[in-house]
Structure 1
Amino acid sequence: MSTVAVGAPGATALARPWRRFWARVLDYWLLILPIGFLTGMVMGSVSVAWVLWLQKPFSNLIVNWCLSPLVMLLEGLIYGWLGTTPGKWLLGVQLLTAQGLRPTRSQYLRRQIDVYIFGLGAWLPLVSLLSTLYQYGKVREGEAAGYDQGKFEVRASKLSVVRIVCTALALIGMLMVNGHFRQASQEAHRQYQNGGPWTNRVTGRKVTIPSGWSHHQSQNQDKQDVDMFFHPDAGIYALFARESIPGPFELEDYAAAWVKAASESMHLYVSSEGDTVNGQPALVVLGSVARDKSQKVHATLLKRDGVVWRVVLIGTAGGAPDRAEALQLRQVLFSSVP
């Protein structure tokens, strides 16, 4: 894109600090949410070890920090394509060169690097706070930010009532979404550190999950509800699910059918050694994950009132899945079955 004369009438006043701040915040969150989601999916598809690591407290902060340069790059590409960004457009903020022209894509990208280092302090603790306060002070006094001096001006047009309302709604929505994720992250952190209550949605029984585990609700390929539990430190994850079976079916029949049905994803066999769960006989199924034989599988099947409950423990990188932490969780999960 070539440098062109600016074509945004009304953008004559220097943009105040808070208008610039909220425009940048909106741009950042509009990009970091989908990018973070896609990154998590890619990491999970590459290795189950990444899936477990993502369950650790504050892993999301590390991922966001690593992704922030990519967000700045994509914002620059969007500016080069549209001539503005969603946040700047909504809040009437416009970036101009010192000559009063719209920057080219390369000029904007170079500025993004300066903003990231000198404006945001590379999002490093304390450094980011101090650099932000320093730049805020300069802009509040009507000066250009340090990274813009002699190169760029940030101007703003008067906002219409419609834009004010839209901006307020966008900010409220953003804060609500951010608050939801923050609350979920804090709750997961508390459960990971201290353990916490979990309710079996089928039986209604509440049990206490031991510390070190995080929980997620999901569905398997057969659209059955599955409760997933992750223990990053032990390198184990567990799947807790149920399945109704026909009256004549015995537990041994179900085990054979399940081993066959799961053959594409897991190579399993019914162990000759039985087990007991809460005083009830259970079957143990052993094996490995089909695409990675280093991931060992230890499953326990329990039949109660025409329903088979199963706890599937999976270890990573050759680790044993039936470690003490996993067997303790298994006992707790089965205690939610009357």
Structure 2
Amino acid sequence: MQQPASPNAPDKSGISALGHAPPPARWRTNNPSPWARWAARTIDTIVIGVSLTFLIGFVAVAVLPGETASALLSGPMFSSSALAGIMVSVLVVPFIGFTVGLMGSSLGKWVMGIHVAQADGTPIGVSRAMLREVNLFIIGLGMAIPIVTLVTQVMAYNRLKESNNTNWDEANSSVVRYLNHTWLTRCRAAVGIILTSILVGVLSAISL
């Protein structure tokens, strides 16, 4: 004789006998968020770039003779926004590659709810993450060269929306997961963006 189904047992539709739908998944791999990825990269670049700039300036003043340090800090690498942007974008690569390779995330990615891993959810490893960052820097950011970077970012945006993937993730066999939005994730992203904007404003005021 067939046993009666438990009142809490889910049916084939995924809805239980009591009418409760299964809890929604916390992460998703479809419906990518290009703007969240852009914001995560921007946060990482600003935070790491500012930290490295202050560190380089501190070491230069502490180690080099006064005139040499002054010449270095007032040189084109610091005074030219284009060269400074390229320099910071290059220096950011190993930092993000290291954290993504070990933990699948970075400060900016954590703020925006983004995780990079293998198909089984395990970290991709530092070497693969470094290669991913190099490909992203060249293909996605156009090596941070003015005008070129705008073109490559638009192309990467269109490809991500059309194919649900990017060249550097596809070549690296990495899977990007996005945290489904809740009030908590939205607040975290908003706070991260606001704090980064404040940091940019403070730096702009200092440089005036």
TM-score, normalised by the number of residues in structure 1? 0.48
Identity value in percent: 25
Deviations 1:26-55 (A, max 9, x none): 222221111110011222332423324424
Please name the residue that 2:180 is paired with: 158
1:173: Cα distance to partner? 1.4
CA gap of 1:99–1:162, structure 2 versus 1, over 3 A, is: closer
1:101: Cα distance to partner? 4.6
CA contact (8 A) 2:115 2:177 kept: yes
Please name the residue that 1:191 is paired with: none
Please name the residue that 1:90 is paired with: 111
Q: Is 2:66 the counterpart of 1:51?
A: no
Q: Is 2:163 the counterpart of 1:145?
A: no
Matches within 5 A, 1:64-213: 64-97=85-118, 101-150=122-171, 151-185=173-207, 187=208
Number of positions where the alignment pairs a residue of Structure 1 with one of Structure 2: 178
Which of structures 1 and 2 has the larger relative contact order (alpha carbons within 8 angstroms, sep 6+)? 2
CA distance, structure 2, for counterparts of residue 97 and residue 107 of structure 1? 10
Deviations 1:129-177 (A, max 9, x none): 1111110111122431122225223220213312211221111111122
CA contact (8 A) 2:101 2:128 kept: no
Query: RMSD of aligned C-alpha atoms?
Result: 2.4
Please name the residue that 2:54 is paired with: 37
CA contact (8 A) 2:112 2:188 kept: no
Deviations 1:60-88 (A, max 9, x none): 63344224322210122223343421222
Please name the residue that 1:20 is paired with: 37
CA distance, structure 1, for counterparts of residue 79 and residue 54 of structure 2? 13
CA distance, structure 1, for counterparts of residue 169 and residue 98 of structure 2? 19
1:99: Cα distance to partner? 6.4
Tell which structure's C-alpha radius of gyration is larger: 1
In the alignment, structure 2 segments of 5+ residues that lack a partner are: 1-24
CA contact (8 A) 2:160 2:166 kept: yes
Higher helix share: 2
Matched position secondary structure for 2:168: coil
CA distance, structure 1, for counterparts of residue 126 and residue 72 of structure 2? 37
Matched position secondary structure for 1:149: helix
In the alignment, structure 1 segments of 5+ residues that lack a partner are: 1-8, 188-338
Equivalent residue letter for 2:183: V
Please name the residue that 2:27 is paired with: 11
Between 1:13-22 and 1:47-56, the stretch displaced more is 47-56
CA contact (8 A) 1:13 1:157 kept: no
CA distance, structure 2, for counterparts of residue 182 and residue 138 of structure 1? 34
CA distance, structure 1, for counterparts of residue 87 and residue 165 of structure 2? 28
1:21: Cα distance to partner? 1.0
1:59: Cα distance to partner? 1.6
CA gap of 1:119–1:112, structure 2 versus 1, over 3 A, is: same
Equivalent residue letter for 1:41: F
CA distance, structure 2, for counterparts of residue 166 and residue 107 of structure 1? 28
1:89: Cα distance to partner? 1.9
